[in-house]
A = this chain, B = another copy of it.
Amino acid sequence: MSVTPLVRVQSEDFDAQAEAARLTEGRKDVGAIVSFTGLCRDESGTLSALELEHYPGMAEAELTRIASEAIDRWPLTGLTVVHRFGKIPPGENIVLVIAASSHRRAAFEAADFLMDFLKTRAPFWKKEHLVSGDSSSWVEAKSVDDKDAERWLKSGSTD
């Protein structure tokens, strides 16, 4: 009874509550749901929007590969990944990951793992558009994201 991840890449916003409900409805074996929501943030008040470019086809394929690896590594009852593309103003949702399991540790680790690899392997790129109208610029990848992803390689040699 293998779990199939639900992966969606879309421009419209998502409903985290509805996605979580989908993983529990009609079943009594789910003890833990960990949900991660990533939002467009702007502490300085200078950002008008993030524009998310993606590689159609590969975005879905790569997210499905990462999700399938999470399902292989942890005993999950369900796993959902939704990533938006297009222009997203500050305060709006960008990405949703929900991991469901009988036990909380599996749900926490799977959601954490998924976000780390999504950041470094899923083909999405952010461009910043400023309120001032000044030339927009591509967000640079952070080395801390690579380090976050590497955490899972150290403990992954038994798979």
Give the bracket for the number of chain A residues in contact with chain B.
Answer: 20 to 34
Query: For the complex, is A16 an interface residue (Cβ under 8 Å from B)?
Result: yes
**Chain B nearest CB, measured from A102 CB (Å):** 6
Residue of B nearest to A108 (CB): B112
Contact B108 A43 (CB under 8 A): no
The answer to whether A102 touches B43 (Cβ under 8 A) is: yes
Most B CB atoms within 10 A — which of A41, A42, A43, A148? A41
A31 near B27 with CB under 8 A, answer no
Interface: A130 (CB within 8 A):
no
Question: With A and B bound together, what is the CA distance between A41 and B33 in angstroms?
Answer: 12
Which of B17, B104, B105, B115 makes the CB contact (< 8 A) with A104? B115
Which B residues touch A33, using CB under 8 A? 35-37, 39
